[in-house]
Amino acid sequence: MENQDLIKQVTEKAEKWLTPAYDAETQAEVKRMLDNEDKTDLIEAFYKDLEFGTGGLRGIMGVGTNRMNIYTVGAATQGLSNYLLENFKDLPQISVVVGHDSRNNSRLFAESSAQIFSANGIKVYLFDGMRPTPEMSFAIRYLGCQSGIILTASHNPKEYNGYKAYWDDGAQVLAPHDKGIIDEVNKIASAADIKFKGNSELIHIIGEDIDKKYLDAVRTVSIDPEVIQRQKDLSIVYTPIHGTGAVLIPRALKDWGFDNVHTVPEQMVPDGNFSTVVSPNPENAEALSMAVDLAKKLDADLVMASDPDADRVGIACKDDKGNWVLVNGNQTCLIYLYYIITQYKKLGKMTGKEFVVKTIVTTELIKKIADKNGIEMMDCYTGFKWIAREIRLVEGQKVYIGGGEESYGFLAEDFVRDKDAVSACCLIAEVAAWAKDQGKTLYELLLDIYVEYGYSKEKGISVVKPGKSGADEIKQMMTNFRNTPPKEIAGSKVVVIKDFQTLKMTDAQGHISEIDMPDKSNVLQYFTEDGTKVSVRPSGTEPKIKFYVEVHADMPTRADFEKAEATADLKIKAVLQSLGVE
């Protein structure tokens, strides 16, 4: 009976898509699903509405209320338009930037959105083709726009697309605007509420003009151009994994002075099916395999890969035995900030107002580096909108020199307000050149950082608990951790507990103090006497609870790396066992 009720509900929703407000192709597909005896497709497409959340839209492409299509994208754009018209009603002309990646339907969704914005009297700067997300962020600021959107599902599988909304500072929307936009989007009842018929006079195509300004700005990120000149033959292999990085990253590397850059030809082709990889995610070794194969043939120094919208970068380099190894997100962030801070000091660029930012689940070694060098370090929640917020709060008073997170995102500048693989690729190439100038590889540089600041290893574990019972179990796990926190973890006493749900911090003596954060978040952190850090949080989008573990080990010399790693692995295993995580 319950299933029949669901079929009745989705049938009623689907029949509303058989009106003239929807195009003939959409109506035909809806009719096919309605007529099919197997109602699986119908249920999946209509059992709920694709929600416009604080990160925008993301979902599988197709017909239906629970899918990415011109109508769900159109509702998002109409809602955003209504919110902009209310918030900037005193401006003579509201303007937005519209960008997109290489995914299937991204151009269609971008053009549809441009039509809707213009139909609402909003001026649109539409990129002439696919472009990196950070360039869209740059364009909002450069053109003085009030908002911007990018059609991308980042590193998700090929079936997905997404829609991210940005505010006038070039960052993804935060409170109160995120909730305000969501309210407006939720008011759009059907396609009849969306103004699809645009005003071509309000749509301006942009491309090379913005590319040049953006690349000029990216070039200013270089700290030591002379070291690049000395090492301009550094052998680099780069792949955009069929994405937007192909448009600008090889060009940016050339601008910086790198003359020996090789691309993976098969992956330079824009391809929404990402046909040469299982997943276009630079966190996965498989996504870099073609680039590493080319690097082996060329005996290259460095491999870099950007995700489809070119906001994240994955890198690989040779270890001391000549084997190619991936450098993880924590290590990459560590290398960037170590290089920036030490070079700023060495070259006399410090003014005393500099600061760096990391997310709360990113390695604490960054804080050690910042503290030792007298640089302010700020912690924020996961997501670059929070890093952008820190930049905005002290704009004009302090100088942002870099920030990143363990999930492979880094931003070295403040003229963009989202993670930026274009500048990040150029900067990691400069770091590799600097290392080579000293007779080191990038791998050896990483080991030297560990020798100077101590070795740490980080590991993320996701425990999946499907269904309603799983959701209840996850909730109970968080309640148990919160109400009866561990007194020790893997034999080391817990000395600090941070609860970001209550914004309270408790030390070993039981003293409670406030945590200064902009919002509450269901995250718990435990710090132990031996420097171990454990972060626990339920996923907001999937049926899983996540554990982030960071442990430390002694590493007095490079030769002690393998021993330190083995010690850390055993410690991580002990930490997970003591927390009851399998």
Q: What is the 3-state secondary structure (H, E, C) of 114-129?
A: HHHHHHCCCEEEEECC
Is residue 456 flagged as an active site residue? no
Amino acid at 378: M
Tell me how far apart the alpha carbons of residues 494 and 394 are, in angstroms, rounded to a whole number: 34
Which residues in 326-359 are b (16+ Cβ under 10 Å) and which e?
bbbbbbbbbbbbbbbbbbbeeeeebeeebbbbbb
What is the Cα–Cα distance from 226 to 222, expressed in whole angstroms? 10
Contact 318, 324 (CB under 8 A): yes
DSSP-assigned beta bridge partners for residue 56 = 53
Residues 6+ apart with CB under 8 A from 200: 118
Residue 66 CA to residue 160 CA, distance in Å, equals: 12
Which residue among 154, 222, 306, 407 is the active-site one?
A: 154
Is there a contact between 304 and 424 (Cβ–Cβ < 8 Å)? Answer: no
**Cα–Cα distance, 229 to 499 (Å, whole number):** 49
Judge whether 326 and 285 are in contact, CB under 8 Å: yes
Dihedral sign from CA coordinates of 480, 483, 487, 492: positive
Smallest CA-to-CA distance from 249 within 239, 264, 257, 234 is with 239
SS3 110: helix
Closest by Cα among 147, 149, 182 to 309: 149
Cα–Cα distance for residue pair 185/15, rounded to 1 Å? 21
Beta-carbon contacts of 363 under 8 Å, excluding residues fewer than 6 positions away, are 330, 333, 334, 406, 456, 458, 550
Q: How far is CA 533 from the centre of its chain?
A: 23
Residue with tokens 């330079």: 268
What residues act catalytically? 154
